[in-house]
């Protein structure tokens, strides 16, 4: 390791010296004195200075910020650090054909969100002046290029020369070592800083918590050195470093990636050392603009001003804690921070929703709405009105904010209206619950509080505040238990993926250092279409290059062992680009009757890894013959080409603003997510299917060609998604040869995409396509599920069968002129069964919507008939009971009915006839022995509650009951009905005579 670092140091010392002021001048610079920090840096200038410094002086490539939605990383809700998009490089898994694989020195400003998962600052935002949910991370990286000395020199020069920060205000921390982990102190970094002239009393050692950075539970990690800034100056503030002092803050973290944290928690030296630095733009701008609060910089002051003008609140004063009376300044900070987060996330395709990142964004929006409307007393719509200000502040760096301003405002307005409606509903729930509480109760029911949070989207802190206004509280511990249980349930995932074999970065490095060539997977594209319409897949013969078992490269595996097999060439498709991996098997030369099933195929750093459970011994160097599961592969090809055609049909119908938000291609069906305002209508669904059917009928050729990535991006009408593409890249075009796509005279609009998947050679092989589902996943994102071929034909046939059944039921209902209550209930049940069938059977979605509308009408018809018949029957029974119990103040009796609805209506009608009477009716079901109970008490009658009355009787019958103070119902099981009647009457008499 030491030799490796020495080589890097010697290699680049000349480069550093040519571009830097000498270390002697750096030491001299340290001795200069500054009376105040420079304040002429705008946030745009700070950001631009950072990237230009590394790009122009040290040849770093400027890489644009990735969207805040992580690329293919399910472990993250949001991009939360600058290094996220470079994880494939750190893990050794970057596609060797991609531009990313060529990166050695990189610089950028990355959009980050920390509001969920491991890094969650949401509840802290607003309470202080430096926490944010959205922030920008300035960073520079070296991937196996320069290391510690060069990184420290570059950082110091930028801060002290380019940004002109007084050196005496800077303090540097370094890793002190950790005996438990067997890690020595990072003396090398300490000596580097000392050699640069940093005073020893400004150079401080800290342990694992502060100065050892890890990517996660496992993965690359290493010691770090942090640069801290003293806002006060003119003193020695070493004791305040890492002491949570607002006066001395960390501004830059330089991480030296030199270890890998293994699954057993041990540390191994990385095959390639790297540098990963991160400096928060907001905090740096605060320093450079001479402020103490991030919210007093030009990143926020225009927003705070816009909030004040829109809400007519007192102007923002920057107060915190008890000094912030009424939490007005906290509300300013919350709204300003959250509208930035909402704007950036929505522009990047993350919309408020009900799960994952979308759920987090929904909570952020609702928290912002609450502070805006309840604390700042701002009118509805103010939150969205701030979006143009966000675009003005950040739009130069992130132009998508200008492009998406209208969409962002629409989505915020729609979600705000929904929440305000929920807020009114929630207040009614709280009020009703308070009415049922006893006078001395101080605790609000936990299940009701959780329901407000879970079902109506109330932030838990909002529930606490609303209850506090009523002098109540909720059992926070019980709420936390429910939240933890809910989180466990949400995080449950399929365990099948845990058994997959994945090459770790050490094994990848070992393959590369051993000069094992990357897998040639071009044979996966070697297939042809015969004249009789059959696909022929060419045979593939390969050599075992490596075997991977138990996180180790081995020379052989025994029969029964699960392992990863790397071949020199393969015809198997590794899962990528949304397409499922191939299945099949291979046989070893000399063992023609022994099959090695291929269970999974993954791509890692240019190597295709086949997951196999060895049937017999398998050795490195063995020759194998590969056999695809051809029907499964062909089915995926059909679905993938159909996905491209569907994407094109959507764009034809809805316009070029429609963007793909995700897709998955499997053998049985395809899934396609796209941006759209509202769900598709029945005519739109029909038009999409017609358009696709026309393309299928035309049997257009599918042209596929590899072209340089830069040239491919010049193709008019090209559809891309947020992925890292290889170079050269495959262009898939329907009906138009790829060479003709560049011809400006070509007026044919067609499907053309960058895609690594396997495709049909003609569109006719799709056979048919039926959209069996289309629904909004979150606001602005819809998901289509479709089937093809025979499955599509079966879906159409099932739709016709269900249509005939709905028409038959409709005709029978129309012919019935006089129904009995039993007949009406039977028909209503048929409508319900048919509704379930329509909802659950794979049929065309447009047909499903049509049938659902018709069935809702039939359900309304039967329900109306049932209500009329029940009312009529209840009137007869009430009349009979009235004759029998005339002049009684308490009526407890039995009624012969199987319907609790009829029983309730009978009680109601009797009470209308005798307004001051207490009425309870029981119905004994035969032969089940079940007892139905219904009762009503005159409104305002304080001596007796209907719900208490029903509960007392039903509990006596071994059942339960519920209701209000005036009306209640319940059930039980008969033991002695006469005794139950007597108990009911005595209870009512006791209450009315105040003897209980």
Binding residues for Zn(2+): 640, 644, 755, 759
Residue whose token pair is 């309470």: 127
972: β partners = 931
Burial, 831: exposed, middle or buried (Cβ in 10 Å; 0-12, 13-18, 19+)? buried
Q: Judge residue 407's burial from the number of C-beta atoms within 10 Å of its C-beta, 0-12 exposed, 13-18 middle, 19 or more buried.
A: middle
In whole angstroms, what separates CA 339 from the centre of its chain?
19
- Residues 924 and 51: their CA atoms lie apart, in Å, by 82
CA dihedral over 492, 493, 499, 502, signed as positive or negative:
negative
Contact 304, 328 (CB under 8 A): no
Distance CA 228, CA 246 (A): 11
Torsion angles phi and psi, residue 41, rounded to 5: -105, 115
Q: Which residues contact 753 (CB under 8 A, 6 or more apart)?
A: 644, 647, 718, 719, 720, 731, 732
Helix (H, G, I), strand (E, B) or coil at 317: coil
**What burial letters (b/e) apply to 254-283, b meaning 16+ CB within 10 Å?**
bbbbbbbbeeeeebeebbbbbbbbbbbbbb
**Rg, the chain, Cα only:** 35
Pick the closest to residue 336 from 285, 377, 286, 387 (CA basis). 387
DSSP state of 895: -
Cα–chain-centroid distance for residue 967? Answer: 44
In contact, 99 and 131? CB cutoff 8 Å? no
Backbone phi and psi for residue 615, each to the nearest 5 degrees, phi listed first: -80, -35
CA dist., res. 106 & res. 101, Å (int): 12
Question: What is the rounded CA–CA span in Å between residue 8 and residue 15?
Answer: 11
In angstroms, the CA 989 to CA 996 distance is 10
ω before 581 within 30° of 0 (cis)?
no
Side-chain-side CA neighbours of 388 within 13 Å: the count stands at 4
Sign of CA dihedral 839, 842, 847, 851: negative
**632 in Cβ contact with 620 (< 8 Å):** no
Residues paired with residue 278 on neighbouring β-strands, in sequence order? 253
Q: Per the structure block, which two tokens stand in for 405? A: 């301003």
Task: Read off φ and ψ for residue 195, nearest 5 degrees.
Answer: -65, -25
Beta 918-924 vs 890-894: how paired, if at all?
A: parallel
**CA–CA distance, 419 with 428 (Å, rounded to integer):** 14
Best CA proximity match to 95, nearest among 565, 549, 756: 756
**Nearest alpha carbon to residue 913 among 937, 879, 884, 940:** 879
**Annotated binding residues, as ranges?**
640, 644, 755, 759
Work out the angle between the directed axes of helices 356-370 and 405-436 (0-180°, nearest 10).
Answer: 70
Measure Cα distances from 702 to 384, 640, 644 in Å.
45, 12, 11
502 is written with which tokens? 């994945």
Q: How far is CA 406 from CA 343, 402, 403, in A?
A: 11, 9, 8
Alpha-carbon 438 to chain mean position: 42
Residue 834 tokens, joined: 């048919």
Sequence-separated (6 or more) residues with CB below 8 Å from residue 146: 8, 12, 16, 105, 275
């Amino acid at each position: 390791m030491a030799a490796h670092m020495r080589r890097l140091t010697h290699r680049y010392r000349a480069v550093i010296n040519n571009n830097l002021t000498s270390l002697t001048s750096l030491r001299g610079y340290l001795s200069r004195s500054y009376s105040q920090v420079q304040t002429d840096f705008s946030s745009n200038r700070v950001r631009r200075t950072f990237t230009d410094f590394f790009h122009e002086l040290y040849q770093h490539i400027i890489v644009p910020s990735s969207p805040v939605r992580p690329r293919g990383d399910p472990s993250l809700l949001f991009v939360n650090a600058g290094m996220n998009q470079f994880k494939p490089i750190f893990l050794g898994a970057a596609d060797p054909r991609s531009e990313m694989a060529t990166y050695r020195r990189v610089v950028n400003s990355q959009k980050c969100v920390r509001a969920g998962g491991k890094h969650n600052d949401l509840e802290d935002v607003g309470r202080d002046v430096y926490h944010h949910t959205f922030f920008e991370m300035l960073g520079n990286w070296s991937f196996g290029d320069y290391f510690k000395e060069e990184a420290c020199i570059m950082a110091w020069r930028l801060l002290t020369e380019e940004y002109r920060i007084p050196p005496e205000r800077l303090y540097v921390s370094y890793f002190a070592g950790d005996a438990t982990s067997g890690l020595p102190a990072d003396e090398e970094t300490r000596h580097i800083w000392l050699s640069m002239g940093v005073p020893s009393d400004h150079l401080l050692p800290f342990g694992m918590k502060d100065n050892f950075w890890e990517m996660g539970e496992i993965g690359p990690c290493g010691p770090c050195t942090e640069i801290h800034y003293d806002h006060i100056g003119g003193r020695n503030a070493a004791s305040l470093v890492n002491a949570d002092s607002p006066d001395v803050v960390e501004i830059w973290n330089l991480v030296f990636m030199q270890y890998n944290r293994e699954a057993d928690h041990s540390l191994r030296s990385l095959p390639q050392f790297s540098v990963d630095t991160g400096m928060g733009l907001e905090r740096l701008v605060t320093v450079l603009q001479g402020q103490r609060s991030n919210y007093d910089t030009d990143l926020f002051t225009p927003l705070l001003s816009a909030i004040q003008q829109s809400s007519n609140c007192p102007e923002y004063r920057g107060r915190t804690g008890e000094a912030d009376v009424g939490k007005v300044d906290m509300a300013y900070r919350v709204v300003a921070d959250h509208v930035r987060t909402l704007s950036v996330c929505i522009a990047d395709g993350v919309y408020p929703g009900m799960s994952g990142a979308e759920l987090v964004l929904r909570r952020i929006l609702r928290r912002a709405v609450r502070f805006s409307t309840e604390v700042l007393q701002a009118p509805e719509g103010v939150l969205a009105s701030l979006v143009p200000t966000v675009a003005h502040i950040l739009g130069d760096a992130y132009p998508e904010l200008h492009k998406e301003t209208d969409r962002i405002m629409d989505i915020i307005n729609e979600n705000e209206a929904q929440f305000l409606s929920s807020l009114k509903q929630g207040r009614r729930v709280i009020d009703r619950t308070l009415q049922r509480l006893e006078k001395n109760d101080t605790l609000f029911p936990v299940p009701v509080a959780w329901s407000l949070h879970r079902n109506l989207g109330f932030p838990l802190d909002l529930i606490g505040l609303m209850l506090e206004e009523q002098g109540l509280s909720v059992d926070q511990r019980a709420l936390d238990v429910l939240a933890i249980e809910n989180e466990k349930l949400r995080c449950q995932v399929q365990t099948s993926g845990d058994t997959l074999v994945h090459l770790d970065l050490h094994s990848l490095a070992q393959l590369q250092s051993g000069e094992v060539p990357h897998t040639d997977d071009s044979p996966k594209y070697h297939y042809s279409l015969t004249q009789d319409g059959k696909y022929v897949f060419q045979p593939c013969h390969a050599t075992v290059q490596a075997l991977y078992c138990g996180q180790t490269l081995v020379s052989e595996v025994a029969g029964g062992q699960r392992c990863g097999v790397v071949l020199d060439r393969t015809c198997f498709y590794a899962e990528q680009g949304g397409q499922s991996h191939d299945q099949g098997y291979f046989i070893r030369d000399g063992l023609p009757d022994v099959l090695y099933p291929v269970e999974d195929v993954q791509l890692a750093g240019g190597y295709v890894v086949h997951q196999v459970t060895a049937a017999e011994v398998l050795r490195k160097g063995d020759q194998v013959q590969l056999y695809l599961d051809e029907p499964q592969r062909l089915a995926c090809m059909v679905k993938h080409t159909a996905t491209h055609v569907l994407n094109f049909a959507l764009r034809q119908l809805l316009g070029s603003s429609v963007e793909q938000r995700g897709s998955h291609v499997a053998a049985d069906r395809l899934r396609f997510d796209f941006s759209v305002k509202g769900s598709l209508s029945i005519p739109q669904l029909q038009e999409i299917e017609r358009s696709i059917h026309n393309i299928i009928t035309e049997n257009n050729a599918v042209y596929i060609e590899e072209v340089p990535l830069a040239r491919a991006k010049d193709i008019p009408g090209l559809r891309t998604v947020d992925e890292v593409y290889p170079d050269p890249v495959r262009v898939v075009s329907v009906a138009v040869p790829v060479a003709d796509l560049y011809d400006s005279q070509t007026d044919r609009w067609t499907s053309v995409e960058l895609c690594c998947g396997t495709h049909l050679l003609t569109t006719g092989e799709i056979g048919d396509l039926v959209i069996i589902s289309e629904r909004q996943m979150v606001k602005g994102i819809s998901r289509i599920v479709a089937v093809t071929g025979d499955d599509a034909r079966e879906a159409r046939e099932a739709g016709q069968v269900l249509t005939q059944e709905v028409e038959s039921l409709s005709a029978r209902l129309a012919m019935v002129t006089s129904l009995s209550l039993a007949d009406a209930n039977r028909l209503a049940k048929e409508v319900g069964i048919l509704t379930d069938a329509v909802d659950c059977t794979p049929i065309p979605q447009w047909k499903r919507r049509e049938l659902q509308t018709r069935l809702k009408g039939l359900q309304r018809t039967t329900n109306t008939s049932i209500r009329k018949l029940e009312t009529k029957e209840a009137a007869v029974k009430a009349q009979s009971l009235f004759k029998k119990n005339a002049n009684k103040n308490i009526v407890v009796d039995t009624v012969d009915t199987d319907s609790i609805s009829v029983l309730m209506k009978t009680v109601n009608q009797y009470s209308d006839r005798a307004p001051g009477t207490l009425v309870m009716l029981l119905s004994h079901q035969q032969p089940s022995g079940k007892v139905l109970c219904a009762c009503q008490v005159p409104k305002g009658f304080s001596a007796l509650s209907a719900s208490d009355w029903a509960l007392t009787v039903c509990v006596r019958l071994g059942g339960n009951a519920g209701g209000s103070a005036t009306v209640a119902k319940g059930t039980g099981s008969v033991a002695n009905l006469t005794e139950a009647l007597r108990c009911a009457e005595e209870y009512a008499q006791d209450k009315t005579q105040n003897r209980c």
